[in-house]
Amino acid sequence: MSELGHRELSSRVIEAAIDVHKALGPGFLESVYENALCIELRRVGINFEQQKSVDILYQGEVVGQHRLDLLVERIMLVELKAVSVLEDVFFAVARAQMRAADISDGLILNFATMPLTIKRVGAGYSA
């Protein structure tokens, strides 16, 4: 299995997400957690872009756009969920988003569970 790069950054993002989860608990919409996590990331000095738009290319031409929940430090996808179970399709979507944004590391954070579910996603794996 490959190892997720940017270990220190991912740990800092996870710590921020845990703080949000402790404060809010499960039960809210993804957008609530996204906005709260943005506040926490700003508080701890982590740069990010919220709802970052990326072009989807086919044969070198733009065929659409997709929005990333958070693009952290221009190198890491953070995808937020508020679902009872993380399904395999969420990992496939995250990897597709990472390819579109030309990044190799990502996190999927599910705020609907106790404790917070944290999954690391790389180009060819998830853990």
Backbone angles phi, psi at 84, to 5 degrees: -70, -35
Q: What is the pLDDT of residue 6?
A: 84
Question: For 14-26, what is the mean pLDDT?
Answer: 98
State what percent of residues in the chain have pLDDT above 90.
Answer: 90
Q: What is the pLDDT of residue 74?
A: 96
In a 10 Å sphere around its CB, with 0-12 CB exposed, 13-18 middle and 19+ buried, how is residue 79 labelled? Answer: buried
Token pair of 44 as six digits = 């701890």
DSSP states along 13-31: HHHHHHHHHHHH-S-S-HH
Q: Which parts of the chain fold into alpha helices (H)?
A: 7-24, 30-43, 88-101
In CATH, what number does 7-50+69-126 get? 3.40.1350
66-113 per-position pLDDT tens digit? 999 999 999 999 999 999 999 999 999 999 999 999 999 999 999 999
22-71 per-position pLDDT tens digit? 999 999 999 999 999 999 999 999 999 999 999 999 999 999 999 999 99
Q: Label residue 2 by pLDDT band (50, 70, 90).
A: very low
Token pair of 86 as six digits = 């993380």
Domain range summary for the chain, segments of one domain joined by +: 7-50+69-126
Q: What is the pLDDT of residue 37?
A: 98
Q: What is the pLDDT of residue 1?
A: 33
Pick from 121, 38, 95, 21: nearest CA to 72: 38
Whole-angstrom distance, CA of residue 29 vs CA of residue 50: 16
Pick from 30, 110, 95, 101: nearest CA to 72: 101
